[in-house]
Amino acid sequence: MIYVTGDTHGEIERFKDPEFKKLGKGDILIICGDFGFIWDNSRSEKASLKKLMSKDYTIAFIDGCHENFDILERMPQRDWNGGKIHYIADNIIHLMRGQIYNIEGKKIFTFGGGHSQDYDFRRSGDKWWAREQPTHEEIMNALENLKKCGNKVDYIITHEPPASLKDCLGVDVFQRIEVHAFFEDVIKTTSYEKWFFGKCHVDKHIPIKFYAVFNNITLLK
């Protein structure tokens, strides 16, 4: 079965939450960005990754705004269920931007990245990467992949929400980036059942098709 949840931010304690007990052998857990376990190659991070590698289920994450892209993009690329991934371990993979995966008979479109709300603070150090923001080339590749499948998928998984949802979420969009306009186009041109995103750190259903996810683990039906 396929499940989806929100940002984990490198917090191994999160995986001890009773919610995770519903996951079993062969299941896939999709994390909507800010996985956070690919950050500094520290001893504690490696220990956490080792614990995650022992899980019976597959952890498949899209990138968010708090990833170390220098490390992430050095991971080997592989093909997986019809799309491209970065391979971390046998059960830990990065779902790349603009890809469409065929999983258990469902088409899942993924598009990570976004804009850090703490950009002004983080840019002065070594903990911010320009690659967090999707490029025009990635957006064009995503549009081409959607066109190839007739602009019809079952689920959309992103980190950022569409900008048009900001009033429903009670948050401000401080900076307009190209991906915001892209998502508005996807809403108009693509057929899909549900759209999940993790950026806002809340669990909230926005009728009819949008789902902000954070702590809850939701079964894709």
Model confidence over 135-144: pLDDT tens digits? 999 999 999 9
List the alpha helices (DSSP H) in the chain. Answer: 43-53, 69-72, 119-122, 136-148, 166-169, 178-189
pLDDT in tens, 86-126: 999 999 999 999 999 999 999 999 999 987 665 555 554 46
Which of 2.30.33, 3.40.50, 3.40.1710, 3.60.21 would CATH assign to domain 2-219? Answer: 3.60.21
Neighbour-count burial of 166, counting CB atoms closer than 10 A to its CB (0-12 exposed, 13-18 middle, 19+ buried): middle
The pair of three-digit structure tokens given for residue 141, joined into one six-digit string: 């590749």
Domain ranges (residues) in the chain: 2-219
Comparing 178 with 6, which gets the higher pLDDT?
6
The predicted model scores a pTM of 0.93
Span 46-70, pLDDT tens digits: 999 999 999 999 999 999 988 899 9
Q: Which residue has the higher pLDDT, 219 or 173?
A: 219
Distance separating alpha carbons of residues 41 and 19, to the nearest angstrom: 28
DSSP state of 49: H
Angle formed by the axes of helices 178-189 and 136-148, nearest 10°: 10
Q: Distance between CA atoms of 83 and 198, rounded to whole angstroms? A: 21
Most distant CA pair in the chain, distance: 46
